[in-house]
Amino acid sequence: MDTPSASPTQWQRVKQDIFDDRLLYGYVIVTSALLYLASQWFVEQSQLKYDLTTYLRALFTICYITFLAWSSGYYLYLAYHKTPHPLLVYLKTITGFFHPIAKPISFVLLVLSLNLTFSCYTYLKSIIPDINPFQYDLLFYQLDQWLHFGNDPWRLTHQWFSSIYSSFVINFLYNLWFLLMWGSVLFFIVRRDMAILRNQYLITFMASWLVIGGVTATLMSSAGPCYAHLVDVNQTQYLPLMDRLTTQSLALEKLGFPPLWALDVQDLLWLKYLGRESGIGTGISAMPSMHVSIAVLMALGAYRLNKRLGYLMWGYMVAIQIGSVHLAWHYAIDGYLSTFLTLLLWKLSGLIVRKLHSEH
């Protein structure tokens, strides 16, 4: 007798969750539609098609792997602490993810929204040189020198962190960013109990990819230190850095360590760029740095949750800023601008979210 009344209540909860996330969905729908319309102007020039499902399969695969990893770890945690009836506790917790029905529905809708945001970003990043050819690398190199009193920032980082082991650790921390980014997004997707912070974080996250990584990157079109000499043979100022990284990578391999992964990824992205391929992670762009942008966002979110965790994440953000220069991905100024723009988006989204929340 309870089922008929329960079903409308559950669907009411679904509608409420969608309403609570209306700003997120509205942003994704509008930006996806606008980019689709804009893509029709560049389809002949770029030879790249606008694909709304670029990240769909990958995201659900990552969700599945994340769920398996978490559930396995959780069960081991229960067993280690000798929790009474660990299997029953485990199953109760797992089923809690799917009840009420609004939880999984809302989760799937937000993952679909992430897919659209990432797909839009990747497409826009891939056609940047078609819209605005790379032209500011030399300017950003000169600005870097001016800001650092005549010094190349990469020479400073390699002076401070000169050993091959330092470069290895920096590269590891740089790659760890992907795991932390995904973990932070998942955390805020499921934590509806902290509505204002959750929406502020997710809106800033989604806006950063297109506003900072898309629009700003197009206006300030640059390839980056690792590609400067490939885009313009006259720009040889970063060849010593590339030679140093290659030497360090080979030295690490001789000692039984993995190579500097950044070099292989840089080569792969360049080949995809030459082949005009689109797909997950494709596209070349330096200014601004999305690694730094999201690292700043993670620090902002973490600080609101716990000050000590926030300090740790701000330290990690500094490591990402250093790594972006040390590994030849970015000019130092890329990260500085990303930090400023991310803080701006964070403040703006906070004002909007609090205003909407106060109205309801």
Residue 260 pLDDT greater than 50, yes or no: yes
Q: Is the dihedral of CA 5, 194, 176, 54 positive or negative?
A: positive
Condensed to tens digits (0 to 9), the pLDDT of residues 132-180 reads 999 999 999 999 999 999 999 999 999 999 999 999 999 999 999 999 9
* Averaged pLDDT for residues 320-338: 97
Instruction: Give the total number of structural domains in the chain.
Output: 1
- pTM for the full predicted model: 0.90
Angle between the N-to-C axes of helices 195-207 and 332-359, in degrees from 0 to 180, rounded to the nearest 10: 140
Condensed to tens digits (0 to 9), the pLDDT of residues 18-60 reads 888 888 989 999 988 888 887 777 656 666 777 777 777 777 7
Say how many CA atoms lie within 13 Å of 33 toward its Cβ: 6
According to DSSP, residue 128 is labeled H
According to DSSP, residue 214 is labeled I
> Quick one: tokens of 346?
């964070």
* Averaged pLDDT for residues 94-108: 78
Q: Domain span at residue 107?
A: 3-359
Contacts 24+ apart (CB under 8 A), 245-248: 245/167, 245/327, 245/328, 248/164, 248/167
SS3 9: helix
> Which position has the higher pLDDT, 7 or 107?
107
Output the CA–CA distances (angstroms, integers) from residue 226 to 29, 164, 230, 236, 263, in the order listed.
35, 19, 8, 10, 9
